[in-house]
Amino acid sequence: MAALRAQADVVIGQTSAEAAGLEIVSKLAAQGFCTVSPGFEDDTLARALEEVAEFQAAGRWQHVNSIIQDGLLGAEGSAQIAELESPELDETLRSDGEVLMKLDSTMTHLGFHMEPYLGIMGFDVSHRSRAVVHQAGEPDEEPVALTEKEVMRWLAQFLRHKVMVIVFLGPASGTLELQPHIAEDAETLEIRTVPGTIVVLRPDILSHKHFSPGRAVAMSSFFLQGNLHRQSGRAVGRGGSQMTPAAKELDDWTVGRLRELKEKSFHHQSWDPDIPRDWQSAMNHMFHKGQMIAVRGTACKFPGTEDPRVFSQASTVGPDYPTEVPRLRWDHEEVFDPDPESWRIYKSYCKHGSFMDGIELFDCKMFSMSPNEAKSMDPHQRLILEVGYEGLHNMGMRKNTMVNTSCGVYVGCGNMEWGMMPREQDMGAFAATGGALSISSGRFSFTLGLKGPSMTLDTDASSGATALYLAAESVQRKGRAVPNDYAVAISAHLLLAAVWWPSHCASGWLCPEGRCMTFDASAAGYVRGDGVAAVAVKPMTTLVDGNYVTSEDPPLGSIAGAMMNNNGKGASLASPHGPAEQEAIAEAIRNASISPADVDAVECHGAGGFLADAIEVGSMARAHRSEEQRDPPLLLSAVKSSMGNQIETSGLAGFLKTIYSSQYGVMTPNLHLRQANPHTDLSDQPVSILSECTEYKMPSSFVGVMSRGFGGSNIYLITWGDVKFNKESTGHVISQRDQIMFWPGGGGALESDAQPARAYTVVGTWSQWHDPAPMEAEGNGTYSFTVTLGENRWEQFQIWLDGDPNRVLHPGQAKGYKNSNVFGPDSLGHGCNWLIDGCTELPAAPASPQIRELEDLLPSWQANGDSAASSKPSADFGLPGDRYRVQLRVIGRWRTVTWERLPSEQRAELATRRDQAGLLAQGQRQGHYYIAGSWNDWSLQEMLPDPNSPGVFHATASLWRSGGEFQILRNRDWRQVLHPSSPRTSRDALGVVEGPDDLGHGLNWFLNGRAGDAFRIELRRSLEDTQGTDTKSVSWECLQPDAVSQTGLERASRRSYCIVGSWTSWQEPQEMQWEEGCYRYTLQIGGLGEESFQILLDGLRERALHPDKPDANPHMSHVLQGPSMNAHGLNWTVGRHQSDGCRPGSCYEVKLMLTSSGEPKHVQWSKIDPSN
């Protein structure tokens, strides 16, 4: 049965605009919608309708597809729509009517006051959509076709809309039907849309359809989230956001249309200019043409890590790997000279590099190799074996499954430093092959029994990328050639000796600063770095029974296209050649069957050459963007700025960083970029050199990897990857902020054990958490209770079923706000209370010119109170004596707790009822006050009211030892503590009395007296004015010295121990009785059949004795620890072990046993007969 709701949740004008904004957001968080009565004048609505009537003649009404109607107000509610012009336009340029423009500004202003509190729901909004005017009527019989531009515009709104504001203009009333998307048992809720009503709702979690028997006009706008959060789960969009049904339908239409467009592109049909360029990009990102190569396994050994995933994740924060040459490699002091011309005397002006650990380690048995043979091998060969096998192992291959398989092995390595290292006289017959790099690939195939092509490549810094290019080519089906089943590309480069450093300095390759300043104005070369990497690849599709089948196992990444060429005749052998680079890029893009603008980013060669870097940036800009297609800008980065130049391995290092960062949808930053290279001319080129981690536009990305060799080789690889949502979360769990906490329409039913047998009861701070009072049944599942504020101007409460403290309804958090979730009934509600806070004030929003213009049209928007005040009262703002109506609403399985302040007398009338001492003088809602101090082991001692001085309370404290600390509690409640603002506050520095609150831990007043002194402590508290100013002061004086007897002083020489536990909700420490050799306490087991406790030295919680494990008992091995303040969760528990023979009502004597020197030894307990 649909429910009918007519009463507004928020009435504008009754509270400040700031308070109204908070109340609206709290309703949105609880039930997904809020009805608002703005107080529009009838004349305002009439004038608005007159302006809407002019739309017909102006031809502004339009019909939209039924899917879009479902995302607005339904097929009937949005039978015709008309968009207003952007509110950002100057009003003199807008053709919309005056009243419609002001109503448009009203929606903006409403959002302006909601925005500070939207964090309650876990999101924020960055902008709003243009206002749409809806006219209700019969839906069209002829369906309206969708277009690409229309789908783009509405899908963007339906994916990002978080709040919708609807203004119902009339003239006829109607019904707004609301239904949660994810609560299947929730019934439809109907809201009567009287002209002048505003409804604010969550369109991402509620369906919303408007119906009217007559002519009904409404105006709406979406408030949109800036960024879509990536997450996986039910009905998730391409950007990872939770999708509404309308957005899902548009998304499905988009996917189908993109597939259709891609199929047309197979036949080389020209691109329709009416279709947005973004659709072409989305099509190419989503559907692929031709053979793609799947990356199935990777491995690496780099400085700082041996895991490609860790390497990629570390790259997001820009680690700087180069260090000075370690002595474990060689003594670089012998060749280092900071003089830039030191190469002339065979010295090096560079002393930095990136070094990895453990290059001397090798498992020779793994590869059936003798220790002597392994000892004679170049470390490059050893690491090629280890890392290459690890790459194949991560692909799922094992030694026994690789034997005699067709696996191509392509090794990029050209470093000959091993033969130039000073070392012992050679190691015999194995030296011939151990130092020959040409044998690296053959040895790998030999040790693993691989029968595919095997070759070692040396194209300088492009060797690794060349190996990967050939590996990818070798597994593709081309003509009659038999492809490899799979292939592995391996590259290795190690810094083993300083022999080449002087010649590299002479060539200007090395950087004196010891860093690779890629793209920076100070770029002056690079530093070398260690690195070994392997990439194992397979075809994305395999031929099975004449059909191509795509593996269901998602790859780590894909190679969409690749190309290798050479500069040919250029300026010099080593100089970069822009046209040749652009040719390689263009051919790779053609091989990938995509558009140049589809490439989102490029991992550049970027070796820190001042001119070479500028040439490369220009090549990238010209090859990927054009004057007609400059957006989005091409993102550029270079791993060498972080790792240094790993020469042969640099290409694979950039490739690994690219495919793994694509799994998170980001491009990692460039380092050491302070001032851009002036020759890059970034202001005129459509590129962006990254200095921070940047998110890709789409969840899938094409990223290029450029590598260039000394001899003119250019290799360009295009990778494709998409966001792996399981890397960001283990699965989409719908947040409670995305759920409805209470649905007024009802649905479902509460379980029987969640209902009281007799009554719901309320207990709170006003009753010292005793004597629960029954709530009044109002009918329709509503139960109420009236709370009167005390002198604190706040009260906390819980709801107990049938007065049972073990069946508690609570908000699941401390100081819960109204309309929050209701948990329970259970016994887990300790400290979880609802808070009625009459002290709350909200920051005043700055006055805007728009609202001043609205005041003549919308009187209810006029500022109330002091417009210049820095804060405004909340809707719950109140003074002592004000009454609040607390309501528990139960509809089906849904529950909520809310309250509102009842109408009160005028503040001036209240002031006449107060005398000079304030409200406390009249005894209204006056509390009881207690002292908790170190002299009484922090147990509670009641303060007596002074009959001659209203609002004054006093107590006497007798010190058992020198010095004493204390606090003051209201109503025996540790949540209502009066305390100073600093620890051990003496009488000479009393300052302000803070509280009552629960923030007083460790903040005590200090009595500076000797053992035997007695003090009179006095509290004065009063409310001085109509605004509820709470004046508090604490003072004390020494009554007489040496007032304590000799017996009491003897007691002072003995330590005091108190026990605190679950039977008092951990609130009141109780003193343990001394008997020779131990301290004793008798406790009775409660209804749960067990009790937990700790022991406090001198009653101080920061000096707790506790076991070293939770729920310890004498029957298990444990250690007594403390005194300490780190005792949370470490308790002794009576009744947990079966040997205790415990049941509710049993009595036990707990003993704290001491050593001969009086130190705590252990805790034990035994069952006793309570009759004795």
Output the pLDDT for position 1095.
Answer: 95
Question: The dihedral of CA 474, 476, 482, 484: what is its sign?
Answer: positive
Residue 260: pLDDT band with limits 50, 70, 90: confident
Residue 422, preceding peptide bond in cis (omega within 30° of 0): no
Per mean pLDDT, which range of 261-270, 515-524, 1122-1131 is the poorest? 261-270
Strands 198-201 and 33-37: antiparallel
Mean pLDDT (whole number) for 774-799? 93
Q: What is the dihedral of CA 197, 201, 207, 213, to 10 degrees?
A: 0
Output the pLDDT for position 1167.
Answer: 92
Reduce the DSSP state of residue 33 to 3 states and report it: strand
Residue 1146: pLDDT band with limits 50, 70, 90: very high
Q: What is the dihedral of CA 738, 739, 743, 745, to 10 degrees?
A: 80
How is the chain split into domains, by residue range?
3-230, 295-724, 748-840+876-904, 919-1049, 1054-1168
Backbone angles phi, psi at 592, to 5 degrees: -80, -10
Output the pLDDT for position 267.
Answer: 57
Gap between the Cα atoms of 933 and 939, Å rounded? 7
Q: Do the beta carbons of residue 483 and residue 473 sit within 8 Å?
A: no
- What's the pLDDT tens digit per position in 378-392? 899 999 999 999 999
Mean pLDDT (whole number) for 474-496? 91
Mean pLDDT (whole number) for 379-407? 94
Domain 1054-1168 is of which CATH architecture? Sandwich (2.60)
Output the pLDDT for position 3.
Answer: 37
**Greater model confidence, 911 or 183:** 183
Q: Please, what is the average pLDDT of the chain? A: 86
Burial 219-255, CB ≥16 within 10 A → b, else e: bbbbbbbeebebbbeeebbbbbbbbbebbbbbbebbe
Tell me the sheet residues that pair with 1091: 1134
Gap between the Cα atoms of 609 and 593, Å rounded? 32
The listed CATH number (2.60.40.3620, 3.90.1580.10, 3.40.190.10, 3.20.20.140) that belongs to domain 748-840+876-904: 2.60.40.3620
Residue 915: pLDDT band with limits 50, 70, 90: very low
Q: Do the beta carbons of residue 880 and residue 1023 sit within 8 Å?
A: yes
- What's the pLDDT tens digit per position in 650-682? 999 999 999 999 999 999 999 999 999 999 888
Which residue type does 582 have? Answer: Q
Tell me the sheet residues that pair with 8: none
Mean pLDDT (whole number) for 1033-1045? 77
- What's the pLDDT tens digit per position in 20-48? 899 999 999 999 999 999 988 899 999 99
Q: Which helix (H) or strand (E) holds 191?
A: strand 189-193
Mean pLDDT (whole number) for 204-214? 94
Cβ partners under 8 Å of residue 520, min gap 6: 672, 673, 674, 675, 676, 677
Gap between the Cα atoms of 972 and 995, Å rounded? 14
pLDDT at 104 over 60: yes
CATH of domain 295-724: 3.40.47.10
Counting residues of the chain whose pLDDT is more than 90, the rounded percentage is: 57
In this chain, the answer to whether the domains covering 919-1049 and 1054-1168 adopt an identical fold is yes
Mean pLDDT (whole number) for 814-828? 89
Residue 1039: pLDDT band with limits 50, 70, 90: confident
Q: Do the beta carbons of residue 917 and residue 1022 sit within 8 Å?
A: yes
Question: The dihedral of CA 514, 519, 524, 530: what is its sign?
Answer: positive
Q: Do the beta carbons of residue 408 and residue 484 sit within 8 Å?
A: yes
Cα distances (Å, whole numbers) of residue 732 to 66, 248, 821: 29, 17, 21
Residue 1147: pLDDT band with limits 50, 70, 90: very high
Output the pLDDT for position 167.
Answer: 96
Q: Do the beta carbons of residue 1161 and residue 1120 sit within 8 Å?
A: yes
Counting residues of the chain whose pLDDT is more than 70, the rounded percentage is: 88
Burial of 1038 (0-12, 13-18, 19+ CB in 10 A): middle
Output the pLDDT for position 32.
Answer: 93
Output the pLDDT for position 1051.
Answer: 59
Domain 3-230 is of which CATH architecture? Sandwich (2.60)
Output the pLDDT for position 230.
Answer: 45
Most confident of the following: 272-281, 427-436, 1041-1050: 272-281
Gap between the Cα atoms of 679 and 627, Å rounded? 19
- What's the pLDDT tens digit per position in 962-982? 889 999 999 888 889 999 999
- What's the pLDDT tens digit per position in 219-242? 999 999 876 644 433 334 443 446
Gap between the Cα atoms of 655 and 312, Å rounded? 10
Q: How far is CA 270 from the centre of its chain?
A: 44
The listed CATH number (2.40.340.10, 3.90.1150.10, 2.60.40.10, 2.60.40.3620) that belongs to domain 919-1049: 2.60.40.3620
Output the pLDDT for position 477.
Answer: 83
Cβ partners under 8 Å of residue 797, min gap 6: 762, 763, 764, 765, 787, 833, 834, 836, 886
Output the pLDDT for position 961.
Answer: 78
Per mean pLDDT, which range of 216-230, 256-270, 306-320, 959-973 is the poorest? 256-270
Output the pLDDT for position 924.
Answer: 42
Output the pLDDT for position 123.
Answer: 87
Mean pLDDT (whole number) for 493-503? 92
Q: Do the beta carbons of residue 824 and residue 807 sit within 8 Å?
A: yes
Which residue type does 72 have? Answer: L
Gap between the Cα atoms of 729 and 764, Å rounded? 40
Strands 808-810 and 823-826: antiparallel
Query: Which tokens belong to 1006?
Result: 């200090």
Query: Which tokens belong to 287?
Result: 């559907």
Gap between the Cα atoms of 687 and 671, Å rounded? 17
pLDDT at 154 over 90: yes
Residue 15: pLDDT band with limits 50, 70, 90: confident
Tell me the sheet residues that pair with 178: 189, 208
pLDDT at 917 over 50: no
Output the pLDDT for position 730.
Answer: 37
